[in-house]
A and B are shown apart, each in its own frame.
Chain A
Amino acid sequence: MIIIQQLITSFFAASGFAVIFNAPKKALLQCGTVGMLGWFVYTICRMQAIDPVVATVAGSILVAILSQIFAKLFKTPIIIYNVSGIIPLVPGGMAYDAMRQFVVNDYNMAVQLAAKAFLISGAIALGLVFSEIINQVIRKIKWKNVQEKCEL
């Protein structure tokens, strides 16, 4: 039940942000789906008591893979899907919380939260870059196979 509720809300959150970011109308559903599935992986990982940073890496890898697939399928730049897809994972709430603690002079809590927000955004970037690298490696290997065959 909780998972269904999370799925629905993350879908609307991601597609809502896609509207704010002026994504093309045709891409709104896909944006929502990417965001929903990324958040789904994150929620499942968190339920297994996995560290939030690791869970975020897992979520953002899925977001990146899905965005690559959608970008290929619909022939649009990948940025549309992964920008709206990572929105649910992004530590915006945490960044805000950290700042709030700073402003009310609770520096211990603030530094902790800020460090965590930084690590999580690093984790998202890592996930996105990681799947891009895998994609490049696959492409290069395929290309090498083709070249070898041609030489034969």
Chain B
Amino acid sequence: MDEKKITNVCLLAGKIMLQSGAETYRVEDTMIRIALAFGVKKAQSHATPTGILFSMGETEPTNFVRIVERSTDLHKVTQVNSVSRNISNGLVTLDDASQQLQNIESQVHAYPINLQIIAACLASGCFTIMFQGQWIDFFPAFIAGGIGYSAMVFLHQIVEIRFFAEFLASFLIGLVAFLFIYTGIGAELDKIIIGSVMPLVPGLLITNAVRDLMAGHLVSGLSKGAEAFLTAFAIGAGVAVIFLII
């Protein structure tokens, strides 16, 4: 019975971390540490972006958790990290840990959605300047980036397929940017679009993929790379539709 609980806690911790965008090796490491703290010496864990395998020992039955949705949520990673540290130091019991992890899992984003959109706006505008754009393009990128990010968030709630939401969001970005140029408010279409797609672009995924590959997590690295490629393709295609229409 106790073993089942330990397995549950390990899998839950791993699941939250993986869904929040932690690196694969960190997920595996955390699960093994938790198991070790509860006296399981030879626990085995194997994490990939789409699922986690965990067993209490080499010959024990293997347990499995499926991961469907992934995003980046640093707050959850931090909290799971501190729970696992407390477990390692023997500060919390098994039941407490399980309760705490369940609380963490049910948490929502710490910042209200408006604030996130404003942050995306600001980041878009700033990226336009960082890519050697002119200040005149700051405002168009600010608006286009905000519209793109909110469209992405909104559409993703309606449409289950991420690819489609990204495609439509970047299509909108291209449209808005084009309208700004057309009305003479913006100067360079390319700079505006590049700045505004930055909140959607999978830059972090690409980097994480290469890092996983270097760390020897070949399966995770390749699948993250594939995910990044698909996202970049969706965004590129969405904007390209605008270029085709013009």
Contacts and interface: CB of A to CB of B under 8 A. Distances in A.
A42 to B, nearest CB: 10
A86 B131 contact: no
A93 B131 contact: yes
Contacts of B26: 77, 79
A44 interface: no
A93 to B, nearest CB: 5
A23 B13 CA distance: 18
A5 B49 CA distance: 38
A104 interface: yes
A122 B122 CA distance: 27
A44 to B, nearest CB: 14
Given A16-B120, A128-B211, A87 B203 contact: yes
B88 to A, nearest CB: 14
B194 A93 contact: yes
Interface stretch (B2-10, B54-62, B70-78, B91-99): B70-78
B126 A10 contact: yes
A17 B119 contact: yes
Interface stretch (A47-55, A94-102, A135-143, A144-152): A94-102
Contacts of A125: 207, 210-211, 214
The interface residues of chain A, by DSSP majority, are classed as helix
B116 A19 contact: yes
A121 interface: yes
A46 to B, nearest CB: 10
B16 interface: no
Contacts of B115: 19
A21 B215 CA distance: 24
Contacts of B215: 129
Given A104-B243, A121-B210, A95 B232 contact: yes
Contacts of B78: 24, 76-77, 80
11 contacts: A9-B125, A20-B199, A24-B74, A25-B110, A79-B22, A90-B206, A95-B202, A96-B197, A118-B210, A125-B211, A129-B215
